[in-house]
């Protein structure tokens, strides 16, 4: 007898959701944007090629033809960041022409969205292995370059005009939360520099960096370390910096990430395929969420995104043992910490420093957070869950929850 029209489809057409694992991540050293920066004469797509080739070099048991997708994010998709950069970089990297690719944009969360997008495809069986990442050459393509905002944003009072200037949105966040003082943000920024330098000296940072050949007026060189960090930065030095976004404001070049160039990339796979190919599982994806907020206070976006992700995963903030929070502005990180009752200097938060020290090449940063969290997991089997989270221009936040495959239930947190 035929099944009634309301009956569900044959279960064979609805495959079970598969576990997604973060295999590995790498990045180029981050440079300062501008004519004197590391990558002033380096193409953005060539930086992506470097990370793709390095991922394959590190995992020789992965046949290139087994890669099902290459998703690369860029905020300003023009010039050497255009031409569907996921596909064009895959071809330039020497992947088989059968490997497709695409470009993606969610401003600062571009690489994060590349990861969540292809992870969703892996979970439902559309892909087995994928590469996701991001690139931003802010020296060639400043944020907002070539953009033509609709005048109705302002005339119809859809957004406050300050929403179009990221530094102004950070000042607005200070206004919204008076307890987030400049003193606290400067202290946090000094701590970020200190932690980054400590991690660098301990050999934690360099293993994830892909050296890049560079060219300048002085000739050829090799980028092998991050350019933005300022070791020895003190609270006292930061307190003397000017506030460019508002007279007598609180946001300075010292308590915010700079303008940077760089690329990131990672390998993602379903757990069974990873095991078949002998690929390591650095993290298991638990869930993710994106949320919108008022564009003029975009820095608060990680708060509702994290609440949404935790709720959907059936977890609470107390279940999270490690946090990688993008440091677009110190005030944005502190807004998150204060909301969840976490101390400004909590050792679980950005243990190796963050973007205030190493830089924030917009669309690339999400994978940097994930790569570092994966490394933390390997060192902390007592931690079961961690999150990567970031604010996103024009009023959004994104959060991804990860599980530690090295977790020791005996020392659970």
Can you list the domains of the chain with their CATH numbers?
A: 20-140+161-401 (3.40.47.10)
pLDDT in tens, 330-357: 999 999 999 999 999 999 999 999 999 9
1 pLDDT above the threshold of 70: no
> Which one is predicted more confidently, 12 or 268?
268
Selected catalytic residue, list 360, 376, 380, 407: 360
pLDDT digits (tens, 9 = 90+) for 14-60: 668 999 999 999 999 999 999 999 999 999 999 999 999 999 999 99
Q: Which of 284, 277, 266, 11 is nearest to 128 (CA)?
A: 277
Which region among 15-19, 198-202, 243-247, 372-376 has the lowest average model confidence (pLDDT)?
15-19
d(C-alpha 295, C-alpha 163), whole Å? 5
**404 within 8 A of 384, measured Cβ to Cβ:** yes
What does the pLDDT average to over 242-265? 97
Residue 412: what pLDDT? 54
pLDDT at residue 413 in the model: 57
Reply yes or no on whether the pLDDT at 385 is more than 90.
Answer: yes
Q: pLDDT band for position 108 (50/70/90)?
A: very high
pLDDT digits (tens, 9 = 90+) for 356-365: 999 999 999 9
Indicate if the alpha-carbon torsion angle 100, 105, 111, 113 is positive or negative.
negative
**CA gap 174, 411 in Å, rounded:** 39
The closest alpha carbon to 107, from 391, 413, 409, belongs to 391
Each residue of 386-395: pLDDT tens digit?
A: 999 999 999 9
Among the options 137, 141, 266, 391, which is catalytic?
A: 391
What is the mean pLDDT of the segment spanning 208-231? 93
Helix H segments across 228-279?
235-238, 271-277
Strand segments (E) across 159-200: none
CB contact burial 222-259 (16+ within 10 A = b; e otherwise): ebeebbbbbeebeeeebeeeebebbeebbbbbbbbbbb
Looking at residues 371-375, what average pLDDT do you find? Answer: 98
Residue 8 scores a pLDDT above 60:
no
- pLDDT, tens digit, for every residue of 268-319? 999 999 999 999 999 999 999 999 999 999 999 999 999 999 999 999 999 9
pLDDT value at residue 217: 78
pLDDT of residue 10: 53
Look at residue 216 in the predicted model and tell me its pLDDT: 80
| Cα–Cα dist 92/241, whole Å | 43
Active site residue 391: yes
Q: Which residues of 314-344 are buried (b: 16+ CB within 10 A; e: fewer)?
A: ebeeebbbbbbbbbbbbbbbbbbbbbbebeb
Distances, alpha carbon 219 to alpha carbons 213, 286, 354, in Å:
11, 47, 31
**Structure tokens, 356:** 């205030």
The catalytic position among 108, 137, 358, 380 is 108
* Known active-site residue 266: no
């Amino acid at each position: 007898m035929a099944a009634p029209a309301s009956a569900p489809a044959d279960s064979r057409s609805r495959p079970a959701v598969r576990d997604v694992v973060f295999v590995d991540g790498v990045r180029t050293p981050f440079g300062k944007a501008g004519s004197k920066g590391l990558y002033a004469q380096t193409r953005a797509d060539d930086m992506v090629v470097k990370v793709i080739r390095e991922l394959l070099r590190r995992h020789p048991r992965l046949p290139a033809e087994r890669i099902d997708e290459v998703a690369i994010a860029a905020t300003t998709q023009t010039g050497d960041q255009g031409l569907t950069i996921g596909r064009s970089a895959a071809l330039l990297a020497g992947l088989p022409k059968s490997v497709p690719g695409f470009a993606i944009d969610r401003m600062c969360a571009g690489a994060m969205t590349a990861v969540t997008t292809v992870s969703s495809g892996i979970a439902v069986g559309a892909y087995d292995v994928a590469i996701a990442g991001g690139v931003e050459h802010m020296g060639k393509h400043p944020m907002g370059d070539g953009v033509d905002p609709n005048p109705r944003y302002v005339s119809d009072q859809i957004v406050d005009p300050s929403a179009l200037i990221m530094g102004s949105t950070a000042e607005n966040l200070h206004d919204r939360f008076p307890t987030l003082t400049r003193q606290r943000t400067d202290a946090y920024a000094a701590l970020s520099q200190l932690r980054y330098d400590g991690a660098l000296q301990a050999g934690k940072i360099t293993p994830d960096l892909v050296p890049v050949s560079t060219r300048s007026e002085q000739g050829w060189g090799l980028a092998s370390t991050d350019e933005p960090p300022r070791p020895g930065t003190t609270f006292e030095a930061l307190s003397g910096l000017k506030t460019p976004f508002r007279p007598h404001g609180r946001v300075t070049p010292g308590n915010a990430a700079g303008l940077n160039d760089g690329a990131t990339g990672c390998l993602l796979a379903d757990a069974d395929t990873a095991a078949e190919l002998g690929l390591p599982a650095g993290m298991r994806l638990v869930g993710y969420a994106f949320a919108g907020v008022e564009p003029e206070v975009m820095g608060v976006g990680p708060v509702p995104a994290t609440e949404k992700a935790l709720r959907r995963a059936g977890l609470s903030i107390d279940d999270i043992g490690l946090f990688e929070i993008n440091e677009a502005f110190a005030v944005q990180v502190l807004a998150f910490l204060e909301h969840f009752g976490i101390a400004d200097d909590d050792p679980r938060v950005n243990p190796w420093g963050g973007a205030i020290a190493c830089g924030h090449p917009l669309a690339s940063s999400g994978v940097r957070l994930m790569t570092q969290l994966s490394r933390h997991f390997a060192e902390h089997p007592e931690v079961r869950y961690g999150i990567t989270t970031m604010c996103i221009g024009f009023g959004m936040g994104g959060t991804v929850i990860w599980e530690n495959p090295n977790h020791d239930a005996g020392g659970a947190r």
